[in-house]
Structure 1
Amino acid sequence: MIDLGISKLALIGVVALIVIGPEKLPRVARTVGALIGKAQRYVADVRAEVNRAIELEELKRMKESVEKTAREVEAQVNDSAAAFEREWSEVTAGLEGTTATAHPALSSIGTPVYPENRRRKKNFRLKRQAVPQWYKARAGVRTRALSGAARVARYRPKTPQR
């Protein structure tokens, strides 16, 4: 990288002032500043793109490792399930012929029969929930309805008597 110190920058500024002139120097400085800003933004975009690509590669590697371990676990589960099925069939192989003779009632049972689910009718005459009056009074629950005229009379501001 180019090492620019304060003395070198001052020398470049003096040469630019002499070569370009004091009238055009601010416009040239703005143009150079804009170009440097564009270059910095471009470099930052390239860095961000490279970082995204690296992260994407890492995520792909992680995904592959997770998929590999998932396949291994699935294979282990399938193997253990197959072993269990073999052992279960070995254990129950001798029992299949004896169930009908030992328990004749069990041989007629196939699939379980579940009772039909019926909705209960609501009895609207029954009070579902009884809340005591003292609780309603403490909680501020209205127990009686007011008519419109009674509500106006109750909440009308009182006028002072003369």
Structure 2
Amino acid sequence: MFGISFSELLLVGLVALLVLGPERLPGAARTAGLWVGRLKRSFNAIKAEVEREIGADEIRRQLHNEHIMSLEQEARKILNPMQQAINPAPAQPQPSAATIETPPPPAGADLGRDSHTAQPGHAPAAGQPIPEQVPGEHTPPHDPTQPPRAP
């Protein structure tokens, strides 16, 4: 403990025997042993108390951190609806014409016709754009019983 070797202890024992004498040496050794035991117990008690305090400080720190974390979560819950009101969520994207699937033509339909162009008097197919009429442009009427005209 203090770096005392066996030879040094033997030398201290011989000096104590010469100074105290053989009658008082056992009582002195007993008393010294009791004092050493008390010092060890005191140091161990102090050490345990310091470790408990360090542990208690650590526990207090953890509780404090948990309390702060719970406060932050509550603040986020309160602020989240406010932020959503300030920054509304983006609207759902509209599907493009390329993503709209057109249904197959009904049975018996004229497949020779161009299905992407609307005929006058006919509604365009689902998902097809409505052609714009240019003023002054004349589109001749189409008779479904006649074959399509050549350009």
CA deviations over 1:2-46 (Å, ceiling 9, x no partner):
320000000001111111111111111100000100011001111
The structure with more radius of gyration: 2
Identity of aligned residues (%): 35
Tell me which residue corresponds to 1:64: 64
Tell me which residue corresponds to 1:15: 15
Q: Cα distance, 1:75 vs. partner?
A: 1.2
The one-letter code sitting in structure 2 at the alignment partner of 1:63 is L
- Structure 1 unaligned segments of length 5 or more: list them: 87-162
Q: Matches of 2:2 and 2:46 in 1, distance apart?
A: 21
Q: Cα distance, 1:78 vs. partner?
A: 2.2
Structure-1-length-normalised TM-score: 0.48
Q: How does 1:73-152 map to 2 (within 5 A)?
A: 73-80=73-80
Q: Matches of 2:77 and 2:19 in 1, distance apart?
A: 81
Tell me which residue corresponds to 2:3: 3
Structure-2-length-normalised TM-score: 0.52
The one-letter code sitting in structure 2 at the alignment partner of 1:39 is L
Aligned residues: 87
Runs of 4+ in 1 over 2 A off after TM superposition: 78-86
Tell me which residue corresponds to 1:47: 47
CA deviations over 1:125-160 (Å, ceiling 9, x no partner):
xxxxxxxxxxxxxxxxxxxxxxxxxxxxxxxxxxxx
CA deviations over 1:99-145 (Å, ceiling 9, x no partner):
xxxxxxxxxxxxxxxxxxxxxxxxxxxxxxxxxxxxxxxxxxxxxxx
Q: Matches of 1:9 and 1:83 in 2, distance apart?
A: 78
Q: Cα distance, 1:52 vs. partner?
A: 1.1
- Relative contact order (alpha carbons < 8 A, sep ≥ 6): 1 or 2 greater? 2
- Structure 2 unaligned segments of length 5 or more: list them: 87-151
| Greater fraction helix | 1
Tell me which residue corresponds to 2:112: none
The one-letter code sitting in structure 1 at the alignment partner of 2:15 is V
